[in-house]
Copies of this chain bind each other. A is one copy, B any other.
């Protein structure tokens, strides 16, 4: 522990008490390794304030002592965004004790949740008032509101209601000097200068510590129709997406998976069954909540069958069957992991360009890296897939991750940029993509990112080494 860190803890001890300051290495250890166990850091202490006032005092003291803080919620970052640096220079600032739902207003369609509220608890709180919070993702039992806001999280229901950016009506945050920005008032129109709420959404804790958020709730749908369709061609899938969007504004999910992803799930998950018979190159999972119900889905799918866009389709006959369809989709990552190490890429391109990208990028990767297998699955409706390049059979995993993955990553990222896309679609930059962001961003974008960071965190104490580094000579270098 550095002298500055020791002095900081001494300052904070009377306020935070033993529950708010953790220094036993065994208790800290689980929070120094990321979700996928790719990034390992060190932190001499974990601070766990229980209120906004305590967070403000922590940040003010950290600024005074020039000690960096790494904010952390459920520690479910996919890009090492919540893992402390390896040199022990930063303390972990856990928001998990701030886990109160401050309010749920069904009539206004708004809930105020503290940063440490877990996503599935937010779902439950909304449901208890007859509303729903329409964003969900695999880590819903761990991910917290603060992390979801700070990473502009996405998921499988983004198509209709958007990612977190569209669902956050306001935030309360502690800024780098320890002052509290109270932006919780859910004003539908507010043009008082730069939108600090939108700036903090997706800032990965590098500009301020989100302590609470006002979130939009939507009505519960009266009906929900889940369908599975098979097609030979992603371009036909896109055409089907457009038909659904023309037929209803209530299309909520439009997911695509290749035959090999389905096969991996069928081989890995006991009891899993293919929703449609026969061999098909691509599969689609389609869900809508239009009041016209299943008849709407039936009509669109019947036309698509007649026109040859799809070769087969089925509508889930029960909630249990719909859940079975979703279990296939949500088991892909685990199932593919059993097939060997892979280089994984959360990327987006314009929706219109995704079918071509899926075909061409896979072919380019397999040609460039002989023996590998490349394919993507995910949110076709959002132009966002998870593109995986699986190592050639027999590859040593340690060598693959250390030597091959960086090369594969640069190759894939170059393809994404050439297609006008983003190398960070829904998982963010964290520490994993920081160098690729710097390599591939225009000087204008990089200068703007650094300008914002320098303007709001001039001492560089908030989540250093994530998202963007300041120019050489600046504090966090």
Contacts and interface: CB of A to CB of B under 8 A. Distances in A.
Interface of A: 105, 107-108, 151-152, 154, 158, 163, 165-166, 175, 177, 179-183, 185-196, 198-199, 201-203, 207, 219, 242, 246, 249, 348-352, 379, 381-384, 420-429, 437, 441-445, 447-456, 458, 467-468
B158 A427 contact: no
A193 B437 contact: yes
A129 to B, nearest CB: 14
B180 A427 contact: no
B468 A193 contact: yes
Nearest to A457: B451
Contacts of A203: 194
B192 A382 contact: no
A198 B195 contact: yes
A196 B455 contact: no
A186 B350 CA distance: 6
A202 B105 CA distance: 28
A365 to B, nearest CB: 21
B191 A445 contact: no
Nearest to A218: B249
Given A219-B246, A452-B194, A456-B452, A187 B444 contact: no
Given A179-B442, A181-B444, A187-B383, A424 B192 contact: yes
Most buried by B among A105, A185, A428, A437: A185
A347 B381 CA distance: 37
Contact of A384 (B189, B384, B449, B450): B189
